[in-house]
Amino acid sequence: MTHADTDAREEHGRDAAQLSDAVHPDAEHADPFGDVGAFLGERSRAFYVDKFRQIGRKPNFAVTFNWTAAILGPFWWSARQLFGIALIFWVLELNILARLAHGLFGDLGAEQAARAEQLMERSAERAAEAARALAAGEDGADRMAQSAENLAKVATEAAAEAERLAAEAPQLVVISLVLLALVKGIQLVAANWILEDKYMKWRARRSSDAIIRLPTVLMTGGLIAVTYLVTALSRVTSQPPPWLFNFPADPEWRNISSTAIDDLFDWITARGGLVFDGIITAINGVVGMLEAFLSGTPWPVIVALIVVLAWRTAGFRTAIFTAAALFYLGLLGFWEKSLATVALLGTAALTSIVLGIPIGIWCARNARVYAIIRPVLDFMQTMPAFVYLIPVIALFGIGKPPAVIATLSFGMPPVIRLTALGLKSVPEDVREAAMAFGATQLTVLLKVDLPMAAPSILTGINQTILMSLGMVVIASLIGAEGLGQDVLQALQFAATGYGILSGLAILFCAMILDRIVQGRISKD
């Protein structure tokens, strides 16, 4: 027999002991609510032990009442650190109370009544004028009388409206009260039940801290009280102070900030001119090389090359699709522009991969580096694509190089992320095994980490290519040649048919690249 069996026997013994407890659920030593006092304070212990017992006896929901919770509402919930629930009831109660205040003190018909009064006055004035004119025998006296009469009619209507609105007030009050009762009722019966759940979780966490803490109570309670007061203030008068509704903004602040950023960019371009020129030259070189290669090769050669590549990596069906898509590009006259797009995209994707994989490896190996890089990646991916163009233009002007850089900054995050993810998910024991047989860090990286992370890295590359392609239209805004330009033109001249055809051309380019890289992944 092994020790495992010994353990099992002991386990069995314990089970048996628990079984005998279960027969007397109220036995003192089996009390599951022993530390309710520690959780909620000794003063409310007896109350909650009783309620929790009631809840425990029912298989589903047990109706128990908690008047304190119902009366205090969000104050009660937040004091017990049930902030989510507190928030819901806070919003509900605030809304209902505001309506109630509006109905009770808002003087609902006041505006209309004032208008009616004003109109009445004007009508009286007019009538007086008419009477005077009539007495003087002037022309238009009857016109004036007519006008006075009309005014009087409108005034009566306004008065009626004011009355109607004022009459609505009690209705509003009644509806608000009913809603309030409903919300309070929900809190009345749900409070103990939710608190019991919280208590069970508290027990499982094995925390010994009481749930009600004075600083939390003061802070959340104060916050809720202030919002109640401000809302009430804005609703009890018919003319609330305007500063409650207008955020204190000053256009000068924005001007100062944007000027400062302008100055910064000016300073950078002035100082770093050489660096930016170098980058521009390098990118131009790569794009030019790719373009020269692509446009210098006869189209049948390129078509054959891509179709064979698709066939070898992704199979026969993909090869047929690829051929069809390529002929679509060629026959509709998108060939040249596709090549320009591919050259641009190729430069961006290649740079993304060449820079992204080492950064990804670094991130996987160094938690601190990843902690710094991750928010940068989030930023790069969340920033709307158009906004990229602004600093890029400021630093690099317009043309192909800034287009490549804008595409690059959008497309690089996935390859970094997925390389890091892939390397991190290599099982630690396999790496350890390699090291136990004398492998160096480099050998582990090359023979264990990278091969095992390959599917993840390839997925990253695929994503990078597709995201870069997504930037093609936007990049054409700053002068990148290619398929994006056609879409942009179609957009400007509302050329529906032409726009759709060029859009399809971009889609086909994306699908060919995607299928080929995907085929490579599934082969691994």
For residues 353 and 346, give the distance between their C-alpha atoms in angstroms, rounded to a whole number: 10
User: Which span sits near another protein by CB under 8 A: 12-20, 246-254, 406-414, 428-436?
Assistant: 428-436
**Size of site (CB under 8 A) for another protein:** 24
Q: Which of 91, 134, 332, 433 binds another protein (CB under 8 A)?
A: 433
For residues 457 and 422, give the distance between their C-alpha atoms in angstroms, rounded to a whole number: 7
User: Which span sits near another protein by CB under 8 A: 17-25, 187-195, 331-339, 435-443?
Assistant: 435-443
Helix 335-365 / helix 483-492 crossing angle, nearest 10 deg: 110
* Residue 521 found at the interface with another protein (CB under 8 A): no
Runs of H (alpha helix) within 106-140: 110-136
Copy the structure tokens of residue 342: 């591919």
Q: Which of 85, 448, 473, 517 binds another protein (CB under 8 A)?
A: 448
Residue 444 or 510: the one with the smaller Cβ distance to another protein is 444
Q: Which of 3, 29, 271, 368 binds another protein (CB under 8 A)?
A: 3
CB-neighbour burial class of residue 238 (10 A; exposed 0-12, middle 13-18, buried 19+): middle
* Residue 208 found at the interface with another protein (CB under 8 A): no
Residue 175 or 450: the one with the smaller Cβ distance to another protein is 450
Residue 7 or 125: the one with the smaller Cβ distance to another protein is 7
Residue 100 or 418: the one with the smaller Cβ distance to another protein is 418
- Residues 449-488 interacting with another protein (rule: CB under 8 A): 451-452, 454
Residue 297 or 440: the one with the smaller Cβ distance to another protein is 440
* Residue 316 found at the interface with another protein (CB under 8 A): no
Q: Which helix or strand (DSSP H or E) is residue 141 part of? A: helix 141-205
User: Which span sits near another protein by CB under 8 A: 3-11, 13-21, 130-138, 499-507?
Assistant: 3-11
The residue type at 24? H
CB of 313 to another protein, least distance (A): 18
Listing DSSP states for 246-315 in one string gives S----HHHHHHHHHHHHHHHHHHHHHSHHHHHHHHHHHHHHHHHHHHHHHHS-HHHHHHHHHHHHHHHH-
For residues 322 and 306, give the distance between their C-alpha atoms in angstroms, rounded to a whole number: 8
328 to 367: interface string for another protein, x by CB under 8 A: ----------------------------------------
Buried b vs exposed e over 139-167: b needs ≥16 C-beta within 10 Å? eebeebbebbeebbeebeebbebbeebee
Give the gyration radius of the chain's Cα atoms: 38
* Residue 492 found at the interface with another protein (CB under 8 A): no
Residue 165 or 448: the one with the smaller Cβ distance to another protein is 448
User: Which span sits near another protein by CB under 8 A: 62-70, 228-236, 252-260, 448-456?
Assistant: 448-456
Rounded to the nearest 10 degrees, how much is the dihedral formed by the CA atoms of 10, 14, 16, 21? 170
Buried b vs exposed e over 196-206: b needs ≥16 C-beta within 10 Å? bebbeebbeee
Q: Which of 6, 150, 171, 281 binds another protein (CB under 8 A)?
A: 6
User: Which span sits near another protein by CB under 8 A: 149-157, 221-229, 235-243, 425-433?
Assistant: 425-433
* Residue 43 found at the interface with another protein (CB under 8 A): no
CB of 371 to another protein, least distance (A): 17
Residue 171 or 441: the one with the smaller Cβ distance to another protein is 441
* Residue 8 found at the interface with another protein (CB under 8 A): no
For residues 163 and 108, give the distance between their C-alpha atoms in angstroms, rounded to a whole number: 9
* Residue 440 found at the interface with another protein (CB under 8 A): yes
For residues 222 and 104, is the Cβ–Cβ distance under 8 A? no
Cβ atoms within 10 Å of 221's Cβ, excluding its own: 16
Residue 416 or 434: the one with the smaller Cβ distance to another protein is 434
Q: Is the dihedral of CA 258, 259, 260, 265 positive or negative?
A: positive
Residue 337 or 520: the one with the smaller Cβ distance to another protein is 520
* Residue 423 found at the interface with another protein (CB under 8 A): no
* Residue 11 found at the interface with another protein (CB under 8 A): no
Q: Is the dihedral of CA 347, 348, 350, 354 positive or negative?
A: positive
* Residue 434 found at the interface with another protein (CB under 8 A): yes
Residue 91 or 430: the one with the smaller Cβ distance to another protein is 430
* Residue 258 found at the interface with another protein (CB under 8 A): no
For residues 282 and 351, give the distance between their C-alpha atoms in angstroms, rounded to a whole number: 11
* Site of interaction with another protein (CB under 8 A): 1-6, 427, 429-430, 432-440, 443, 447-448, 451-452, 454
